[in-house]
Amino acid sequence: DASHRHAVFGHPIAHSLSPQIHRAFAAQTGIDATYDAIDAPPHTFAALLETYRENGGGGANVTLPLKRQAYELCAHVSDYAARSGVVNTLEPLPHGAWRGHNTDGPGLIADLAERHRIDVRDRDLLLLGAGGAAQGVAFALLDAGVRSLTIANRSPERADALADRIGLPGRVHVRYWNDLATSGSWNFVVNGTSAGVEGGELDLPFAILAPRALCYDLSYGKAATGFLAWAHAAGAGQALDGLGMLVEQAAEAWAIWHGSRPDTLPVYEALRARLDGA
Ligand code: NDP
């Protein structure tokens, strides 16, 4: 069945865990679905997606650095994707068109609330990064009730653009990355940068962490080790990686394509065991 052929597009994509996750959902639900990883440098993405669709491809995921581009090529977008301005899940519509969704934000909230039993209400959040992932989660965290959101991005104009997009002056602030050491402290810090993926160092001051703060890295595996080690050294109360979010955002996408949410616990536990054993 054509609608049971799925793929994730990104660049780089070789280390994506999405194929494993979706194949596990297929096995669990008995739906005969396939899921490929397609390497798509930005200038090739639109053409590759069209070819994929012509060859019978159905629902697809999009990862870095293509989430904004994906948003722009959708004929329709969900309300949440429209607010965030980025799309990570494509739902096929008739005549080759796509409806765009963003499941990153709901995936993060599901991981925090259901797996870790963490309530983000009344936390002051520092969000590092303003790329596709940061945009995807900012609105969800505000909806979930964080008291304030401060955005710091290496390129300040992108942080300003995200803050402008959100609105909410008084609750949403921007800080220069280089001024973080003297900008205050936060009891919730989310790393939404791709520094770890690219092998870079964030070089964050310890002073930004309030005592017993919650730290969450959207990335996972080797890419998350630098930030999580920093968080422990800086005295974080809890330091979590984004593996749970990855599985939850995948389950949200699966539900859009197939109508029901798979059980994420066994899939998460198998991946966690594999990552920890590696
Ligand atoms: P983008 O390419 O859209 O954005 C990258 C962001 O990282 C930008 O804000 C960029 O800043 C910043 N950045 C990159 N390198 C550095 C550095 N050395 N120092 C400081 N900032 C840096 O990527 P995404 O937003 O799509 O992805 C970001 C991360 O989130 C990835 O690690 C990805 O794996 C993870 N992710 C995890 C998900 C999950 O389900 N767990 C879901 C989605 C993403 P600038 O604007 O200055 O370039």
Average pLDDT over residues 98-110: 98
Nearest to 38 by CA among 62, 59, 65: 62
CATH of the domain at 60: 3.40.50.10860
Determine the residue type at 116.
H
Q: What is the pLDDT of residue 147?
A: 97
State if residue 107 touches ligand 1 by the CB under 6 angstroms criterion.
Answer: yes
- Residue 238 and residue 139 in one domain: yes
Tell me the average pLDDT of the chain. 95
Instruction: Give the nearest ligand 1 atom to 197 CA.
Output: 32
- Ligand 1 centre and the CA of 2: distance in Å? 32
Nearest to 202 by CA among 177, 219, 183: 177
- Ligand 1 centre and the CA of 1: distance in Å? 35
Instruction: Give domain status of residue 269, yes or no.
Output: no
State if residue 133 touches ligand 1 by the CB under 6 angstroms criterion.
Answer: yes
Instruction: Give the nearest ligand 1 atom to 108 CA.
Output: 40
**Domain end among 102, 132, 151:** 102
**Domain end among 46, 72, 102:** 102
Distance CA 246, CA 241 (A): 10
Query: Domain residues for 205?
Result: 105-243
Domain count, the chain: 2
Average pLDDT over residues 232-259: 97
Instruction: Give the nearest ligand 1 atom to 177 CA.
Output: 20
Q: Are strands 89-92 and 60-62 parallel, antiparallel or unpaired?
A: antiparallel
- Ligand 1 centre and the CA of 178: distance in Å? 18
Tens-place pLDDT, residues 169-193: 899 999 999 999 999 999 999 999 9
- Residue 141 and residue 95 in one domain: no
Looking up tokens 């994906």 gives 70
Residue 2 pLDDT > 80: no
Tens-place pLDDT, residues 17-48: 999 999 999 999 999 999 999 999 999 999 99
Distance CA 131, CA 224 (A): 17
Structure tokens that stand for 60 in this block: 């697809």
- Residue 239 and residue 145 in one domain: yes
